[in-house]
Structures are given as structure tokens and as C-alpha cells.
Structure 1
């Protein structure tokens, strides 16, 4: 029995030695075969916006590790890219080209011993790059206190819209704001300007550093003011969620972050809704919503919600859906926008926000009303999801901005 233990111990030590040797040799060539591999054959090219798919047949060799492609994506700058494809695949993608024109791609097979084949040169002709396609759709228009920029990205590929601004007295434009998205439609507004004419410009960029031509435009921002809360009034409708704990709707505009609106903590249908009047017809630009302190990213604070509006003198009740597209109409009511309260900026989980996260939350969150939204006299705040997932909601203060002229 003692000898069996010794043999087992020796076997374990041998296994450990082999395992350690394998780790040590991990970066060494996995093959001693230094022979030159053959070239790929049967090459076919399929072009797309800004790139090409290349298919091929690998040489008959069990020692191939990958195929690499080397190519220049911008003849003006000489910028190069290299992409690789495993020997398990029969295709490789080359992309990031700056223009729609003919480019050369050098394809090389590489063995496990890091020996390369002679290169095969393939000509590709990518379709118009996405950033150039998007650049043709740029729209710049006046917005409340600034400018609104919109683009269309039917390919849904990552692009960036870079807004430039030339201040009065300056000789050059400088970057003022940047937005990145792979959504089909991008729309963002930059505010903080008076109504005098301003010089703006926009260009589109992509993840490979390609930039479109720049579009210039002089914009006169629209007048914006904070709506007078003294004109707001409660306008409860039958489908509104029952109020609880005496936290009535008018507390939403009493300029006191210590009091607010709160619904009953019962199993209520979604969305959790309240309705009130603005006392005037207004073209809204944005609003600031303040959540309940002490329950940051938790309890009944709104996480997913919508703002509905009506410009009717006395809009009729309507049961709102839990979700509707922006601009959807339900009876006398129009969906002015759908919103998500941003998670803790530190990246911490909502259940454990940092002190900074709590501070950001308690300042309130600003949300834009789409520029295409119609004028409105009445507002319905419709909460689809609270941070706790419960079927009740609360908020402390709401402030609207826009133009009442």
C-alpha cells in the first residue's frame, strides 16, 4: 500500500511538471514545420458599404493557423489596416475604407510556425462608406436655446456626429459637442445660447477615423423660458393612479424637493399616471424631473416613463398603454417622448450607488422633448417601470421649459 502511494505521488508530480512546462512553452511556435505554405485560391469578393467580404479556399495543409489581410484604407493619408481570419473560416472581412473606389488587399496564409506564404493581391471596390452616406442626411435647425442636429443611418453602423461652433470674434471653429450612435435615427440638441445668429458646423466620423466634408450653417436659436409653475393645476382623470399618503399631484410643482407626488402602494395597472394642466399652451423643449431623496435608484422613483400631452382645452380621459412610439395618439393625447432615467454614473449597481451617484440623482435629471412634438396645454406623466419594479411611483418636482408665445 505504501508503494502505491509513492507511485501516485510520483505520477502527480509528473503531471504537474508537464502542466508547468506547457505554460512555459505557451508562447513558443506550436510547430517545427518551417515549410512555406501555399496561397489561397478560388477568391471571390462581395462589396458592402465601406468594405468587402472576401471568400477563398485554403491550401491543402494541416499547418495553417490564419489568413491575414493587409490594406490601405485612405490613399490620402496612407493609413493601413490588418485583419486576420482563423483557419476554421473560409472568409475574411476588410473594412474602414474612406471612399468608394478600387483598393488592393494583400492576402497571406500564416502557419503555426509563423511562416508566411507569398501574398495574393485582390482588388476590392467597397460601396459608399457609411459615414459618407450619413453625412448626406445631416439636418441642422434652430432649437430652443440652441441647435438641433438630425441624421439618418439606415445601415445602423456606429458613427459619430461632431458639432462645431465658431464664437463671435473667433477665427476658427472648435468642437462643441459629439454624439455617437448606431441607431437608425440620431437627434440631439445643444442649448445655452441666446437668440442672435450663431455659426455652427457638423461633420460625420466613423470608428476608423474617417471624416466627412463639413456642413456649415448660421442658426438663430429659439427663445426658451421656464414655464410659470404658479399657473399649473391638478387635472386628475378617472384612469389616473390613486394618490397615497396625502402626496397629492400639486406637490410636483411646489418648488419643494422635500414633498412630492406618491401613488398608493398597491397592485395597480401600468402605467402609473398623473395628469395636470400647464395653464397655457406651450411648445416644450425640455424638463427636469427630481426623484425622491433617500431612495436613489430605488423604491418608486421612475426608471422608465413617458410624457403625454394634449393641446385640447378639456382633453378627455384615455387609458394610456404601457408603451407607445413617440408621436403616437391615444384619444386626445399625444406621446411627447419616452424616457429612461440613467443608471448610476459611477457604474455601481443601482442597489449600491456611491455618494457621488446619490448627489447626481438628487440634482434631478434633465430630459429633452423632441423638437417635432406639438404644443401642449396638459401633461400626463406615465411611469412604466420604477427602480424597484413595484406598481407604484413617486417624484418630488418637475420643471418644464419652452416657448409660450
Structure 2
């Protein structure tokens, strides 16, 4: 009886194994069929593209066509030379009747060869078409480039009205080789380009700027000999609170939160913190730097992780704010507007700039911060002060929105750079 039972169990086990193998075999066949959908044994050559038309763009062209009546068609391929060094290919699915060719070095005539390609990777006979792209964006941007002295380096401005992705490359003399090498590679799609390169002494040196695009095309280079402007960190030992009647009430003062924490060289809790519940449009504080300064830039640290909580990009951390400054000996209080343009004057106070906190590097919503986001908050956010801003001694920080849409605000630390002479 036991022997028969063992034989029966063995038979059942064998049946189960056979069933599993059969199921795996069927699954493998199904997967294989799906994977090989684009493979064909039909080696027939597809028909050619017809009715070809061209729409020329800046540095690019869109070619439209009628597809051949070939059931085995998979895609359309374009082959073309964009400059003396590079041949490119573009592909477009058989679901589309257009293909984009781009990256051309300059305006002019270029030959494009079009093929219809089958699932068996068989090309049709070629169709030649001529495109005449307009001036590409990188060449349109180059004439607008300006380079001027800045604190500790140079400032570069340019105009990119088409908002196309470009690179603005700054070069200067290498200390070792003496060659002009890249010191900054600024990639952007912004319409108005404005950035600074710092870290140099005040000795005159050669700088150059050229514009490039993602296909490796390069403009001419604008050269200029420039003496960077002297810059130091404004000494915090001279800072003091200059409280005005319209400044926001302070919150959590019993825990050490007050305005003077903004310059205690501590980027963690506590910091400056306003009291909740007042419902004012601006969260304000005012302080004296102790010395008249031509400001170049500043750095702001928001509240990050503390006491087991994560406040990054949330809570009362500023999202948008304005810096106001005054050179008066004893500037008077003023009712500051929520929104104003840089350079606006209200009483003794001048708008030094409107600023926005950069979004989380991860792109996540508040409360879903990643280690990369936390590192950005911990490092602080740096902002440039425009070169045309006047010298100031007193600063007003006016926060008009926070990441948590709170009716209070908090900042851990502020540092300023510029020329105090």
C-alpha cells in the first residue's frame, strides 16, 4: 500500500513538472512572438516617398510626404550633413507623415536623403530633397552677447528670444598652460540670459565668450580684457537688528528664534521666525550691515531637517521674496508693496531685486523630498545682485510667499558679498 502511495505521489509530481514546463514553454512562445513583431522575412523593397514638401525653420526643417502603399513599412529615415564634420540621421514612425531634420550649422541649402524602411530593414530607393533652414538660434544669440566686469569675475548677458536650448561658454587663460580654456559652461533655454563667473582677483585678464548648441556647432568668440571688481564677504560682526514698526512680530522667541540669528553663522535651528496668525501679506525683518556696501550677491539658507521633522520646501520657508535696501543713516519705516519692480523706491527704501527659491532638484512636491533636495537646502541658495543696484547699508527682507502657504516665515542664515570700500 505504501509503495503504491509513493508511486502515486511520484506520478503526481511528474505531472506537475510537465504542466509547469508546458506553461513556461507557452509563455516563452508568446513573449517571443511579441518581441519579434518588427521582424519580417518579407525582403521586398518598399515604394518611395512621394509628394515631398519642406517647411524651413531656424536651423531645422520639417519635411512632409505621402507614404508608399507597403504593408511591411516600419519607419522613414532621413540622412543629412549638418556641417563639415557631422552626418546625422532622423527617423519617423510609419504612423506619421512628417520628419524633422535639425542641427544645421548655418542658413543655406542642404541635401537630405529620404528612405522608407521595411520591418526587414530593407530601404526603398532614395529620394533627394533640398532644405534651406534659417539662421540657427546659437548664431542669432551670439551678436547679443555682452561681457562686463563683475565682482570677482565677469558678468555675461545675452538674448535668446526663441528660447531654444543653447550653451554660453566662458573661457580664460589657464594658469599652467596659458591657453584659453573653458571656465564656465552655462546651458539654458531662457529668453534673457544673465549670469556671472567668479573666483578671480582684480588683475586684468583675457576672457572670451562663445555660443554653442547640442549638435556641437560653435559661434565665433567675443574676446575682452577685463579687471574683475574687488569682492569680500560683508563682515557679520557689524550686523545688528534695526527694528521698524512694520516688521513682523517674532515667533518662538523663547526658543531663541530672533532676527539676530540671521547672521550667527549657524545654518540650522534656530533662525529668524515670525509669529503666525497675523495674516499680513508680507513677512518682514530689517537689519543694519554696519557698513555702506556695493552688494554683488547673497546666500540664503532655508530650514531643513530639524528635531526629526523635514521642513524642506515646506512650512514657512520662503518661496518668493524681495530685498529692499537703504543708504540713509537712519532710514524711516515705509509700507512696502507686495509686488514691485527692481529699482522701485518707496520712501527711503529701494527694491534691490525680486527673488524666487529654486524648485527641488528632484521635481517632487513638498513633503516628498529626496536626499538630493535635502542637500540643496543644506547648501543654501545663492543669488546675484544686479550691477546697477546702488550702495546700501540697511536691508529689509520681505517674504511674500512660502512653500507651505503659511502666514509666517522662517530663514536660518543670510550672507552677503560685495565691495565695502
Q: TM-score range by the shorter chain?
A: 0.7 to 0.9
Distance 1:29 1:230 in 2: 71
Unpaired runs of at least 5, structure 2: 1-19
The residue that corresponds to 2:360 in the other structure is: 343
Alignment check: 8 A CA contact 1:227 1:402 kept? yes
Give the deviation of 1:92 after TM superposition: 0.9
Which aligned pairs between 1:338-377 and structure 2 lie closer than 5 A? 338-341=355-358, 343=360, 351=368, 354=371, 361-362=377-378, 364-377=380-393
The residue that corresponds to 2:261 in the other structure is: 251
Q: 1:287 to 1:13 in 2, by over 3 A?
A: same
* Residue 44 (structure 2) pairs with residue 35 (structure 1): yes
The residue that corresponds to 1:318 in the other structure is: 335
Alignment check: 8 A CA contact 1:73 1:98 kept? yes
Alignment check: 8 A CA contact 2:304 2:311 kept? no
Q: 1:23 aligns to what SS in structure 2?
A: helix
Q: 1:345 to 1:137 in 2, by over 3 A?
A: same
Alignment check: 8 A CA contact 1:339 1:367 kept? no
Distance 2:196 2:333 in 1: 32
Unpaired runs of at least 5, structure 1: 1-11
Give the deviation of 1:377 after TM superposition: 3.6
Q: 1:136 aligns to what SS in structure 2?
A: helix
User: RMSD of the TM alignment (CA)?
Assistant: 3.4
Which aligned pairs between 1:186-335 and structure 2 lie closer than 5 A? 186-246=193-253, 247-255=257-265, 257=267, 259-266=270-277, 268-292=279-303, 294-295=305-306, 297-298=311-312, 300=315, 302-311=317-326, 313=328, 314-321=331-338, 326-327=342-343, 332-335=349-352
The residue that corresponds to 1:103 in the other structure is: 110
Give the deviation of 1:238 after TM superposition: 4.4
Q: 1:159 to 1:328 in 2, by over 3 A?
A: farther
Q: 1:268 to 1:107 in 2, by over 3 A?
A: same
Which aligned pairs between 1:117-136 and structure 2 lie closer than 5 A? 117-136=124-143
Q: 1:147 to 1:306 in 2, by over 3 A?
A: same
The residue that corresponds to 2:78 in the other structure is: 69
Q: 1:221 to 1:112 in 2, by over 3 A?
A: same
Aligned residues: 392
Give the deviation of 1:112 after TM superposition: 2.8
Alignment check: 8 A CA contact 1:325 1:335 kept? no
Please tell me whether Structure 1 or Structure 2 has the larger radius of gyration of its CA atoms: 2
Distance 1:266 1:196 in 2: 53
Cα deviation per residue 1:33-91 (whole Å; 9 max; x = unaligned)?
4322221112111111111111112223333222110111112x2x1111111222221
Length-normalised TM-score, structure 2? 0.81
Give the deviation of 1:20 after TM superposition: 3.6
Give the deviation of 1:221 after TM superposition: 0.5
The residue that corresponds to 2:160 in the other structure is: 153
Length-normalised TM-score, structure 1? 0.84
